[in-house]
Amino acid sequence: MTDEVAKIKKVRDQLNAVSPSFCLAKWYQSTLHLQYGHTHSCHHPRTHQVPINELISNPSALHNTEFKKSQRKLMLQGTRPKECQYCWNVEDLGSEHYSDRSSKSHEPWALPHLDSTAKMTGDENVNPTYLEVSFSNVCNFKCSYCSPAYSSAWMEEIQSQGAYPTSDKFNNLEWLKHENKMPIPNREHNPYVEAFWKWWPDLYKSLKVFRITGGEPLMSKDTFRVLDHIDKEPNPQLELAINSNGCVPDKLFDQYIEKMKRITLDGKIGTTRLYTSVDTFGEQAEYIRDGLNFNQWQDNICRVLEELPLTKVTIMCTTGLLSLPNLHKLLELIAPWKAQYYNNERRVPITIDTAILRHPSYLSAVVADKSYAKMLDNAVKVMEDNAETHDNPYKGFFDFEIARLKRFQEYVATGPNPAERLNIQQVRKDFVTFVNEYDRRRGKDFCKTFPELTEFYHAQKEIK
């Protein structure tokens, strides 16, 4: 047993001493989608609507909803909340399996609160110490796999041209309406954002990790309001992360750089991170993430690494079918940055996280033949040839980065999981339907952009 596993086991035993369903994430981790007023604690449960009437006297009800309090009470009583079934499935495999209930409660933003929380009734209003916030869906991108809930540009397209003619009616607004996830337009008054800023002065004092997501956060005035607040009231214990597509107008990116310089170089904030997304290299990346200018993105990421010497960058690479041909070129670009931007205060300037795209299924890598996994051989080789070593510490790809890429390759080589119950014929038909409509609406050319995938495309197009 490793030291880390031993620590998590100890935390699990401490949690179970309170109750076998007790989890600190329900109190101290929160995600707020302010553009449509939803919240959840921990990423496994579904989000739920924040009732407006609860916010009138208690702006912290953005996190402390009556529903969430009811789930906390169940945990204190030893009853398993149904919305946490993911963890119960893991724990039911046996005592040697540790769920996120234990690992999240083990985090430094949660564990110090174990004893005090165990004495609560569940009715208390608590401030989260780990918070993710999306202020709006304003975004200048229309990424192929995204949604109108998170992109105003997508919303404009769907409102004017309707859903895509795939079997699932991709990005049909009826589903968003059914889920109460229709975003409030940025130009309109948003009671959830209003409640957030009423809560903020008190919330800010307790935060340990704060991440701003979107939409595109650098197109939101609220993001810059946060940076201005930190400038005036420093919080050196706070870890701040901001997502950005890296291709906002130059004026906004300049503003981001200058405000971040003031709070980082003067020690007004703790660890800072920029999370940015790109899924492969060059023109193919621009096809996937419509709105991306790859050269502009590359220049801006280098600006962050150069001008903000304390800020760490994470590239979120959502890997699907369209990532396969040229992913190795992206890795070849990143590899030298690890050494070039290394410094003693920021030993890990940049990492890449390859998250597997699963929805929509017709853009996932399993839509093609299993043999397409070989396309990733070059990418794996680039990582292994530029891996961190004892003689080259920190300045190469880490074991976890290589492992995640190999996991993606194995996912492609294995093919569809029977548990997903994919009708592969329908999925491939939807792939052709989506690509044709995407090209028509966006003025793109799939076959010209992806010559490596044209044989597959035409083979599916000919199937009746």
Q: In whole angstroms, what is the distance from residue 106 CA to residue 10 CA?
A: 9
Written in H, E and C, the secondary structure of the chain is: CCHHHHHHHHHHHHHHHHCCCCCCHHHHEEEEECCCCEEECCCCCCCEECCHHHHCCCHHHHCCCHHHHHHHHHHHHCCCCHHHHHHHHHHCCCCCCCCHHHHHHCCCCCHHHHHHHHCCCCCCCCCCCEEEEECCCCCCCEECCCCCCCCHHHHHHHHHHCCCCCCCCCCCHHHHHHCCCCCCCCCCCCHHHHHHHHHHHHHHHHCCEEEEECCCHHHCHHHHHHHHHHHHCCECCCEEEEECCCCCCHHHHHHHHHHHHHHHHCCCECCEEEEEECCCCHHHHHHHEECCCHHHHHHHHHHHHHHCCCEEEEEEEEECHHHCCCHHHHHHHHHHHHHHCCCCCCCCCEEEEEEECCCCHHHCHHHCCHHHHHHHHHHHHHHHHCECECCECCCCECHHHHHHHHHHHHHHHHCCCHHHCCCHHHHHHHHHHHHHHHHHHHCCCHHHHCHHHHHHHHHHHCCC
Inter-residue long-range contacts of 228-232, CB under 8 Å, 24+ positions, other chains counted: 228/259, 229/200, 229/204, 230/263, 230/268, 230/269, 231/259, 231/262, 231/263, 231/268
Kindly report the backbone phi and psi dihedral angles of residue 138, in degrees, each rounded to the nearest multiple of 5, phi listed first: -60, 125
Residue 240, beta-bridge partner list: 210, 272
pLDDT at site 417: 74
pLDDT in the model for residue 434: 98
Specify whether the CB–CB gap between 135 and 34 falls below 8 A: yes
Q: Are 132 and 30 in contact (CB under 8 A)?
A: yes
pLDDT attached to residue 181: 96
Q: What is the pLDDT of residue 422?
A: 79
Integer Cα distance of 63 and 120 in angstroms: 17
**How many CA atoms are closer than 13 Å to the CA of 373, on its beta-carbon side?**
15
Residue-wise burial string across 391-429, b where 16 or more C-beta atoms lie within 10 A, e elsewhere: eeeebbbbeebbebbbebbebbeebbeeeeebeeeebbb
Q: Looking at residue 464, what is its pLDDT?
A: 61
Confidence at residue 159, expressed as pLDDT on a 0 to 100 scale: 97
Report the pLDDT value the prediction gives residue 415, as an integer from 0 to 100: 85
Give just the sign of the alpha carbon dihedral 23, 198, 191, 222.
Answer: negative
Q: Are 11 and 106 in contact (CB under 8 A)?
A: yes
Diameter of the chain measured on Cα atoms: 65
How many Cα atoms within 13 Å fall on the side-chain side of residue 308? 28
Q: What is the pLDDT of residue 1?
A: 61
| pLDDT tens for the 464 residues of the chain, in order | 678 889 999 999 999 999 999 999 999 999 999 999 999 999 999 999 999 999 999 999 999 999 999 999 999 999 999 999 999 999 999 988 999 999 999 999 999 999 999 999 999 999 999 999 999 999 999 999 999 999 999 999 999 999 999 999 999 999 999 999 999 999 999 999 999 999 999 999 999 999 999 999 999 999 999 999 999 999 999 999 999 999 999 999 999 999 999 999 999 999 999 999 999 999 999 999 999 999 999 999 999 999 999 999 999 999 999 999 999 999 999 999 999 999 999 999 999 999 999 999 999 999 998 999 999 999 999 999 999 998 888 999 999 999 999 999 999 999 887 767 778 899 999 999 999 999 999 999 999 999 999 999 999 887 76
Give the closest residue to 354 by CA, choosing from 380, 389, 377, 387: 380
Tell me which residue has tokens 């995407």.
438
Q: Where are the domains of the chain?
A: 1-206, 278-415
HSE-up of residue 56 (Cα within 13 Å, Cβ side): 4
